[in-house]
Amino acid sequence: MLGALGESFTDVARNPKLLYARLQLAKHSLLPSRAFEDSAVWTGSSGAVRLLEVQGAFQGGHYALSAHPNVPAPNKPADSRHVITLSRLADGEYRWDTNVDFAIGAIRPSDVATVFSRFVSAAEETSANQVRAELASYAPRTSSALGTAFSLDSVMPTRLADGSTVVTLTIAMRSDLLKQRYPTFAAFFHKYIDPARYRITVTDRAGTPYFEARAADQLLTVRLRTLDGKLVSLAGPATPMPDTLELLMDFKTSVKHFGVGFHGLRTELIHVRKSDMENGWVISARREPDWDLPLFTARMIRTPLRRPFTGEGSLFRIGVRGDGSGQTVIFREIRLFVQESAILRFLNALSGAAFSEFADQVDAEQNAWLREIFVAMRDDARAAITP
């Protein structure tokens, strides 16, 4: 699995059609009418629907992404299928749908879930010094690769009387270190990631917290509590995490000297498990947050900002699926409604500016950095399981 993920970031090459389509979709994601009318973007169309299919595969020492019709299902590790659909619902109103399948070999979805649960509970019955020692002993390559952009500021496991462990983890985000290896990506990181401030809280329907993460001043702090390898409530008795939760998020960053963001975004978070064949999460957003936008946008009509949250709302789904007869895949699905307007034109200009800076060298350096991390994780995993 880790090897396949590493291959997907190896010297990524896109065919000319995908290069053009990718640029147009990024430039017009919030003003989709322009991309909708451009036939060069799509690999298929029917009535009010446009379709872009992309095939990914590791071949000849690089990861090739090609836009063409009738992309087959992935049949070997690192194969991928991307399908982007743009539907025109009414004048100025559109729906984006994105579906991606990425093959990771024969690993079962339940095993992926086990890896994740053991990772989050790794600090049970340990001290801060033991955590650091185990990282150095069992994951030296991964620690080194992540150390190009992050440093472990502090880790505080606290064992409670009921046997559960509360962990507070603080990580410093270090674009100054990143620039030593990846200077262009580091400049992008410093401009857009360093100033970001956000807070994420996962609670049950009664408001009991199960997970907290916040980022500010280039520090990311995570709090969680585990018992016997499973996440439990941060407050009160160690209650197992239910499958239906609420995710609350605040976010703010700076783009082209404008502060933009939101607070009070409340979404439904559902853990979906289908026997041994599927394990994943679905996030549904049906309530509009409060927006943090420049003062001059107050004169613009903000009704279109409500559209992504009305009706069936927007959706993000991610998970692992496999029945043992073929490739297990990491899948993700995104659904987003857009109603074009002056305020979305302003936001589209900001996102387009960020993407124009991300293209080419920044993209290449980010891919090289991610490849380094996944290859390091793969090599550490191999060392750990080899007698």
Per residue in 340-349, pLDDT (tens digit) is 988 888 888 8
pLDDT bin (cut points 50, 70, 90) of residue 298 is low
Burial per residue of 275-310, b for 16 or more beta-carbon CB atoms within 10 angstroms, e otherwise = eeebbbebbbbeebbebebeeebeebeeebbebbbe
Secondary structure element (H or E) that encloses residue 381, with its range:
helix 361-385
| pLDDT, average across residues 175-180 | 94
Q: What percent of the chain has pLDDT over 90?
A: 77
**What type of residue sits at position 323?**
D
Distance of CA 134 to CAs 51, 130, 139, Å? Answer: 48, 6, 7
Given this model, what pLDDT does residue 386 score? 82
- Residue 28 confidence (pLDDT) above 80: yes
**Diameter of the chain measured on Cα atoms:** 67
Least confident of 11-20, 296-305, 353-362, 377-386: 296-305
Strand 62-67 with 80-90, pairing: unpaired
| Apex 35 CA angle, 32 and 36, nearest 5 | 80
Check whether 387 has a pLDDT greater than 80. no
> What are the distances in angstroms from CA 213 to CA 72, 138, 150?
39, 25, 16
Q: For residue 80, give the H/E element and its range.
A: strand 80-90
Roughly what angle, to the nearest 10 degrees, separates helices 361-385 and 342-358?
70
Rounded-to-integer distance, Cα 63 and Cα 68, Å: 16
Quick check: 313 and 306 in contact, CB under 8 A? no
Amino acid at position 381, single letter: A
Lowest mean pLDDT among 147-161, 211-225, 357-371: 357-371
What are the residues whose beta carbons fall under 8 Å from the beta carbon of 148, sequence distance 6 or more?
177, 178, 180, 181, 182, 369, 372
What pLDDT score does 297 carry? 74
Q: In sequence order, what E strands does 77-207 have?
A: 80-90, 93-103, 150-159, 165-173, 197-203
Cα(337)–Cα(340) distance, rounded to whole angstroms? 10
Could you give the CA distance from residue 86 to residue 323 in angstroms, rounded to a whole number? 30
Q: What are phi and psi of 8, to 5 degrees?
A: -70, -15
Residue 140 has pLDDT above 70, yes or no: yes
Query: Which amino acid is it at 45?
Result: S
- What pLDDT is attached to residue 301? 60
Find out whether 98 and 50 touch, Cβ atoms under 8 Å: no
Mean pLDDT in residue range 46-51: 97
Q: How far is CA 290 from CA 199, 250, 346, in A?
A: 14, 9, 17
What pLDDT, in 10s, does the model give residues 72-92?
Answer: 999 999 999 999 999 999 999
Question: What would the two tokens of residue 357 be?
Answer: 């800076």
* Chain centroid offset of residue 127 CA: 30
**CA 337 and chain centroid, separation:** 19
Mean pLDDT of the chain: 93
Helices (H), 249-360: 342-358
* Closest CA relative to residue 331, chosen from 53, 85, 110, 101: 101
Given a cut of 90, whether residue 356 has pLDDT beyond it is no
Rg of the chain's alpha carbons, rounded to an integer? Answer: 22
373 torsion bin: left (phi>0), alpha (psi -120 to 50), beta (else): alpha
Burial 332-359 (b: 16+ CB within 10 A, else e): bbbbbbbbbbebbebbbebbbeebeebe
Residue 365, CB half-sphere, CA atoms under 13 Å: how many?
20
- pLDDT tier at 299 (50, 70, 90 boundaries)? low
